[in-house]
Every structure is written in C-alpha cells, then in structure tokens.
Amino acid sequence: MRAQFSLGSLAASTAPGYSTAFPLTQNPISEGGAWANGGIDPPRTNVQTDGVHAFGTMSSFDGTNYPDSVALLTSTYPANQWVQGVIYNSGALSGLEVELLLRGTAGTTSFPYYELDWVYSSQELNLVINNGPDNSFTILATVTTNVNLSDSIVLYGQMVGTVITAKCGSNTVLTYDTAGDSVKLSSGTPGMGFWNETGSSANSTKFGLRSFSAGVI
C-alpha cells in the first residue's frame, strides 16, 4: 500500500493513482518517494515545490542541451493512463512552459516519455516524444487553438492504446494516434515537467502547477 498526497493531506490507496497539491517545500520533489526526478539523467533537471505549487529548477537553454525539469511517479501504471494539472500563473512570461507526461520511464541513461508541452508565450500545445537518450526527441503535433494558459486552468491528458488526447479547460485540443510512428512507448508512468529559457531561475516560480493528479483508465 502506497501513501499518496491528496489536497495537502495524506491518504492511502492500493490502486495506481496519485493526487497532490504540493503541501511540502522540497528540492527535488519526493513526497515520500513518490517521484523520480530528471536530475538523475543530465542535462535533465529536477522539479521543486514551495508548499503552494510545483515548478522547475532549469534557468536557461544553451541551444544544444535540453535541461527540462521533469519528475515521474515511481508507482507502476498500466499503459492506459491519465494525468491532470491545474495551472499556477503569477505573471508568466515568454520562455516558460508546463508539461504533462505520459508513459514515462526514469533511468540514469535513458528517460523516455510522451510530453504534452503547454507553451505560455504562444498559448499552444506541442505533443512531443522524448525518445530516451539525451536531447533526442520528435515533435509529433502542434495545436494553436482553444489553448488558454491562465491561472487555475485545468490541463488534462490521457493515453488509451495508441491514442493520446489532450484537453485545456473544457476544450479537447488534441487527438493523436501514435500507431504509425516509428518510435512508440508502450509502458511507463505519468509525470510533470517544466521549461524555463528566460535566463533567470526566479522566473520558474511564475508558471507551474497548483496541483497534480494521475490515474488509470
């Protein structure tokens, strides 16, 4: 039985599923061992929390190495899974992104996952597959309609079989079938990530997640 955080308090669950409103101040996030952080496989970096929201530790991009701040749940999930996050936006600016992850695997030499990448500056969604090796990824789709990254907006993603679906608020903004892709991920766990190429680590706190939850379909 794994203890899980739920809206700032502890609850117990025997089924795969997790919910947290980030009640602790941690760098990197752990919540009792619930999370594996990207810092174990550089250039990826860790996710942190301040008792109110989760955000990244990344501060800049050198144009070559992709140091996304990512964290994956450590529980075992079946392939059909969902993930949800509530936006924290306190003066977000260009260069900040929030990511919801599906079918991720945390490793010291490989860190693959599907990434729903919500970009603040362009108010768009990019669906990305991180292939595992450092700096190896493919943008599978980009959506520029029905995306609103205001504070408290609910972001949602799911993967059932080969189909990924993403929602922003009440709008379904993406449905994508991975069946024809040359690289596919068939297993893994949900997670979250953040991007900050503003050059200032302080800006990371301006765009993050108020809460996170994940479960099984």
Q: With CA atoms as reference, report the closest residue to 38 among 63, 79, 66, 77.
A: 66
The pLDDT assigned to 15 comes to 59
What's the Cα-to-Cα distance from 106 to each of 39, 84, 109, 213, rounded to whole Å? 10, 19, 9, 18
β partners of residue 13:
2
**pTM of the full predicted structure?**
0.93
Q: Domains in the chain, start-ordered, CATH in brackets?
A: 2-216 (2.60.120.560)
Q: What is the mean pLDDT of each run of 10 residues along the chain (217 residues)?
A: 33 68 98 97 97 97 97 97 98 98 96 98 98 95 97 98 98 98 97 98 97 97
